[in-house]
Structure 1
């Protein structure tokens, strides 16, 4: 017999774990199918830390974050774990840097409070930096660290508490969409459900093609690096902020840093700048040594005391849309199939909110949040 559920969720990462939690909390019968181990390193959601912030160059994202923050706090309370650590964030750039100008304008339109600091003021407050005199910065105090892996596992554990079934190491072999439901074939068996959530990260493109949705998604295997600073006490949360440098260096686009979290080392990487591939099967997970060398030049220039031993380096997959905005929508032909993909390297902070949005769409047929920016029809 085919085991039946209200909803099947394909993918147990950031978004999949969240939608499973909110559906199960609403007493829906939920099955999560994860093709790898839970908390695996092959995708986008594993790790010590991700940035959570209000500061965005688009007021729509700021408004969404005003809804996401309370959900993270509520999850943290229910899970009885510290999932969010407040650090503050510095966005650094020159006065004529386009992205820093757009950021300031966006925060002003959204009535988001922040401080505007000169290079001298930044270095007085955070002497870890060594900056050109013409640099300026925007400091937003509510930015922090989300403990990424713990967030995913907390969503999943609580989903199970409410009755969800989580099956790891269960890849999907075939999807059959019916007028009133779906049928999913796996090596573990065939499962049926009234509704389907596709939250498969970098594997979404190939899965969606099976059901007639062709999206211009590309995979960017970004590299992360963790360093042991010469003075680690100076790079802890509370003493050192998250930072984003709004200028290009040869190590990549938009270098950023995250304070030491759970003995992880100081995380420094770049948001963009790597070559993309069309199919996740073509991803090369091998770290680049030359990128580390270029990154060290950046660190030596602006954070000299951070340029210590390399603790770890690895790849993290970004699933990119052409405009770097998300996809959160319903299948164009089947209103019981929901899609969340293409989070373009800045989606983790929204995952609990996206999970709530998807659960509301599935249960109520609507959401209180403006998701028009994320429609499939724009491609």
Structure 2
């Protein structure tokens, strides 16, 4: 018996695709996860991700508004809250960034995109920032951009909701089932596990750091770099000051690019650094947090958010799997269009509910609901071996 579609990998993108496919097809859709659901070995664990309209590149700005609507559809279907609006800040420390090439990655870059899309925002200088949110310490040369729709998307809850909704539509979910190979088989695909080989009309590969392992027998190998990133939770004693209703999510562009959350998920604040982690592999990575990063985070908190900190609750690591241009991959294999590949490049979770729909479009041969040409698997960043890595760190 051939299944209609098999989804390999049930993290943020795979679980969303499973739901959207099951909603369209009902039975005959199978989701396969190599570990247990909600595991901590990949990129989609933890409580919180930032969701925002603030984007610097047109291909993401075009999807930002529709992503909010996609999350609202999932929330309505499940009667579960996934997105919490807190407002959001982009803070630029121009003194710390002096001498670095930022291109459009500055306040003006964000406002230019906001203006094109008619998004409301506020610009604040250092004094205005600290007057409104006295939790911050900011020197002259700091500027900020506030957008009220920014907030938190609950990653762990979102994945669980997507899987539950998929099951309700008739999807089958198999866990602790590594996929050893996928093989084009005529117009369909053979999906090889330790226990059996499944036949499917279509396959969606959302395996993130394991993508090239899963694709090995298709003749495709993607130039993906796996990075080990980390976040720290602080058991701040100042809970009221950092409640989601009183403190926004933020990104701080200085010498390093930090991002932070109010108290959510844990009774603690959360801080991370975007990119810059050590290169690793899906199976060779370690789980012990980097003490250099841990100290860097503590220094940032002491300088700019002293009451945000407190005893460290814990630090944890996750994986980013990144193409050379740090762009998504959402496409079918040119030689085998029955195989769809998804990669979120370490920054896709905010779009996951929408990407699930786009992957369902691709897998079923429909025109994508929104423009995704920029995420083609045949673009130079993925096909030209000399294409330079240009990670935003």
Say yes or no: TM over 0.5. yes
User: Of 252, 261, 264, which residue of structure 2 is paired with 1:261?
Assistant: 264
Alignment correspondent of 2:143? 136
Identify unmatched segments of 5+ residues in structure 1: none
- Corresponding residue SS for 1:39: coil
What is the rounded CA distance, in whole Å, between the counterparts of 1:106 and 1:172 in structure 2?
Answer: 41
Shift of 1:133: 2.1
In the TM superposition, what whole-angstrom CA distance separates every residue of 1:230-281 from its partner, at most 9, and x where no partner exists?
A: 3111111010011111111xxxx3111011113341110101111223x312
Alignment correspondent of 2:386? none
What is the rounded CA distance, in whole Å, between the counterparts of 1:297 and 1:327 in structure 2?
Answer: 35
What is the rounded CA distance, in whole Å, between the counterparts of 1:40 and 1:264 in structure 2?
Answer: 21
What is the rounded CA distance, in whole Å, between the counterparts of 1:71 and 1:24 in structure 2?
Answer: 16
Kindly indicate whether the alpha-carbon contact (under 8 Å) linking 1:86 and 1:145 is maintained by their aligned counterparts in 2: yes
Alignment correspondent of 2:3? 5
Please give the residue correspondences for 1:188-337 in structure 2 after superposition, counting only pairs within 5 Å.
188-248=195-255, 253-277=256-280, 279-337=281-339
Alignment correspondent of 1:113? 120
Alignment correspondent of 1:92? 91
Kindly indicate whether the alpha-carbon contact (under 8 Å) linking 2:9 and 2:31 is maintained by their aligned counterparts in 1: yes
In the TM superposition, what whole-angstrom CA distance separates every residue of 1:152-206 from its partner, at most 9, and x where no partner exists?
A: 0100001000000000000012222112111112123221110010001111122
Kindly indicate whether the alpha-carbon contact (under 8 Å) linking 2:331 and 2:362 is maintained by their aligned counterparts in 1: no
What is the rounded CA distance, in whole Å, between the counterparts of 1:173 and 1:243 in structure 2?
Answer: 40
In the TM superposition, what whole-angstrom CA distance separates every residue of 1:329-349 from its partner, at most 9, and x where no partner exists?
A: 1101011110001x2221101
What is the rounded CA distance, in whole Å, between the counterparts of 1:14 and 1:272 in structure 2?
Answer: 19
Please say if 1:32 is aligned against 2:31.
yes
What is the rounded CA distance, in whole Å, between the counterparts of 2:112 and 2:286 in structure 1?
Answer: 38
Please say if 1:69 is aligned against 2:56.
no
Q: How many residues align?
A: 371
Alignment correspondent of 2:340? 338
What is the rounded CA distance, in whole Å, between the counterparts of 1:225 and 1:272 in structure 2?
Answer: 15
What is the rounded CA distance, in whole Å, between the counterparts of 2:184 and 2:16 in structure 1?
Answer: 23
What is the rounded CA distance, in whole Å, between the counterparts of 1:18 and 1:71 in structure 2?
Answer: 10
Normalising to structure 1: TM-score of the pair? 0.95
- Corresponding residue SS for 2:364: helix
- Corresponding residue SS for 2:39: coil
- Corresponding residue SS for 1:376: coil
Kindly indicate whether the alpha-carbon contact (under 8 Å) linking 2:17 and 2:359 is maintained by their aligned counterparts in 1: yes
What is the rounded CA distance, in whole Å, between the counterparts of 2:115 and 2:346 in structure 1?
Answer: 24
What is the rounded CA distance, in whole Å, between the counterparts of 1:254 and 1:284 in structure 2?
Answer: 23
8-17 vs 185-194, which deviates more?
A: 185-194
What is the rounded CA distance, in whole Å, between the counterparts of 2:15 and 2:278 in structure 1?
Answer: 29
- Corresponding residue SS for 2:278: coil
What is the rounded CA distance, in whole Å, between the counterparts of 1:310 and 1:179 in structure 2?
Answer: 54
In the TM superposition, what whole-angstrom CA distance separates every residue of 1:79-125 from its partner, at most 9, and x where no partner exists?
A: 11111100111101145863213222222233222100111111111
What is the rounded CA distance, in whole Å, between the counterparts of 1:304 and 1:71 in structure 2?
Answer: 37
Alignment correspondent of 1:370? 371
Kindly indicate whether the alpha-carbon contact (under 8 Å) linking 2:227 and 2:279 is maintained by their aligned counterparts in 1: yes
Shift of 1:290: 2.7
Alignment correspondent of 1:125? 132
Give the ranges of 4+ consecutive aligned residues of structure 1 lying more than 4 Å apart after TM superposition: none
User: Of 127, 136, 145, which residue of structure 1 is paired with 2:152?
Assistant: 145
Shift of 1:323: 0.9
In the TM superposition, what whole-angstrom CA distance separates every residue of 1:337-374 from its partner, at most 9, and x where no partner exists?
A: 10001x22211011111110111122243113111110
